[in-house]
Amino acid sequence: MTEREKIITENYNLVKYKIEEAIRRRGGGEDVTLLAATKTVPAEEIVFAAKELGLRFAGENRAQEFTAKYDAVSPYLDYQFIGSLQKNKVKYVVGRASLIHSVSSISLAEEISARAVKLGITQNVLLEINIAREESKHGFLPEESDEAIGKIRELPGVNLRGIMTMGAAGAEKDALRKYFQKSYAIFIDNFPKKTHNISDTILSMGMSGSFEQAIEEGATLVRVGSAVFGSRNP
Cα 104 to Cα 102: distance, rounded to the nearest angstrom: 6
Judge contact between 18 and 211, C-beta under 8 A: yes
Cα 70 to Cα 59: distance, rounded to the nearest angstrom: 11
User: Which structural domains are found in the chain, ordered by start?
Assistant: 3-229 (3.20.20.10)
Q: Which residue has the higher pLDDT, 79 or 191?
A: 79
pLDDT, residue 175, reads 84
Q: Is the pLDDT of residue 134 over 50?
A: yes
pLDDT, residue 234, reads 52
pLDDT tens-digit readout, 28-84: 888 999 999 999 999 999 999 999 999 999 999 999 999 999 999 999 999 999 999
Judge contact between 225 and 39, C-beta under 8 A: yes
Q: Is the pLDDT of residue 200 over 90?
A: no
Judge contact between 138 and 102, C-beta under 8 A: yes
Query: The pTM is what?
Result: 0.93
Cα 28 to Cα 21: distance, rounded to the nearest angstrom: 9
pLDDT, residue 196, reads 46
pLDDT, residue 166, reads 84
